[in-house]
Structure 1
Amino acid sequence: MKLPSILYIYDPLCFWCYGFGPTLHKLFESLHDKVHFEILSGGMYIGNQAGSINQVSPYLKTAYKEIERQTGVPFGEKFVKHILEPGKAILNSEKPSIALTTFKSYQPENIVKFAHHLQEAFFYDGKDLTDDATYIPLAKLFGIDGEEFVKKMHHPDYTRKTKEEFKIVNELGASGFPTILLLTEKQNYLLTRGYIEFEPLYLTINQLLSPVS
């Protein structure tokens, strides 16, 4: 029998998704033996939506404090001082999303961990996600040759697959991130569109997975 799936739709540059990362990891640790986990990149900052933080999301300079307050997840000093405050960093989701797609070709079972490490590199360590060098140590964390990983990222197949994910997310109508769906053989359920804490989410999933007596 096919396992039900949790479909997590996020964007590597989504502030709220970063705050949700530890919750998703806890959910994975609690349910990975019952549920298959899949992550799709939403393409939050692509095309005309990409640009400097000051242009596309100036409110983020203050909003991150509210995210810290609600989620308990800290934004790193390097991110705040070198990315947020100068306001010159370019928000473009394509390359980090390609990295996520590329990682799936290696270790899809570890996609939840990689997705959060990818966000930590940006939101905590203040790394430049447009720089190939950022992805070498990320790959090595999972025992993957970093240079090989970056080379694979540049293969057109992974750009194509990533753009297909953006299209799927658009067709699903996932207009906000994070979005979480529970997919079962009988029905699909929208669990949340936006941040949610672990306990109510875990309770809802267990209720939906429990057989009707």
Structure 2
Amino acid sequence: MTARLTYAFDAYCGWCYGFGPALRQFAADNTGRIDLHVLSGGLFSGPGARPTAAYPHIPEANNRITALTGVTFGQGYLDTLAEGTTVMDSTAAAKALIALRAQAPTRALELARALQEAWYVDGRSLSTPDTHRIVAEAHDLDPAAVVAAFQNPKTAAAARTEFRTLRRLGVDGYPTLLLHTDTGVHRLGGPVSTAAALTEALNRHLSPAL
């Protein structure tokens, strides 16, 4: 039986960026065992969509993320962060993932990674259509179709639906990995979990009770 999982993700979430390598390895290690769905959250949406300078804790948080997960942040991102005026808008980021995912539904985790690298490596705003054109081209998708979908009001509505879905599932932070079972929804691991620890948790939940 294939296990269904939901990955609650936000492209502007540094801890999601740090969690990415372990999650991707977990997904690779469990190919054929899991059906993983990536849904975006609204970490920086509505009044929370503000310039990076409005969040002075970010550099210290990034240092912790690097120390605990090993990921590094690119110079383009560090320059953008220091400049301080780029608005982090999670609704725009969610629209981008929906637009990309529409062309490659089975590659959602790969495309989520691409968006995070556009921000956390290159420092590109995820509100800018040119960013999504670049990501689409790099991943052999139709850039014009991606930009059109990104700008379509129906995509914004779909993003808000994803936000509501995650709230209904009880998600109150990112990243969160959820396993759906007959007994309910269970969280697997946390932001600094290894791939092996995630697989162990999955096995524990799926193993029949002794």
Aligned to 1:20: 19
- 1:42 touches 1:169 (CA, 8 Å); kept in 2? yes
Aligned to 1:52: 51
Which digits, 9 at most, give the CA deviation of each residue in 1:10-52, with x for residues without a partner?
1010000001111111011111311100011111001111101
1:72 to 64, 70, 73: 70
CA distance in 2, matches of 1:150, 1:109: 20
What is the aligned length? 210
Q: Which moved more, 1:164-173 or 1:43-52?
A: 164-173
Gapped regions of structure 2 (runs ≥ 5): none
* Counterpart code for 1:91: M
Q: Given the alignment of the two structures, is residue 201 of structure 1 paired with residue 198 of structure 2, yes or no?
A: yes
CA distance in 2, matches of 1:61, 1:86: 13
- 2:40 touches 2:94 (CA, 8 Å); kept in 1? yes
Q: Given the alignment of the two structures, is residue 122 of structure 1 paired with residue 119 of structure 2, yes or no?
A: yes
Question: Residues 155-194 of structure 1: matches in 2 within 5 Å?
Answer: 155-194=152-191
* Counterpart code for 2:51: S
The alpha-carbon deviation at position 198 of structure 1 amounts to 2.1
- 2:19 touches 2:193 (CA, 8 Å); kept in 1? yes
TM-score (norm 1): 0.92
Off by >4 Å, runs of 4+ in structure 1: none
CA distance in 2, matches of 1:108, 1:211: 31
CA distance in 2, matches of 1:54, 1:75: 17
TM-score (norm 2): 0.94
CA distance in 1, matches of 2:138, 2:4: 26
SS of 1:85 mapped into structure 2: helix
CA distance in 1, matches of 2:200, 2:96: 32
CA distance in 2, matches of 1:25, 1:177: 16
The alpha-carbon deviation at position 107 of structure 1 amounts to 1.3
Question: Aligned-pair RMSD on alpha carbons?
Answer: 1.5
SS of 2:83 mapped into structure 1: coil
The alpha-carbon deviation at position 212 of structure 1 amounts to 4.1
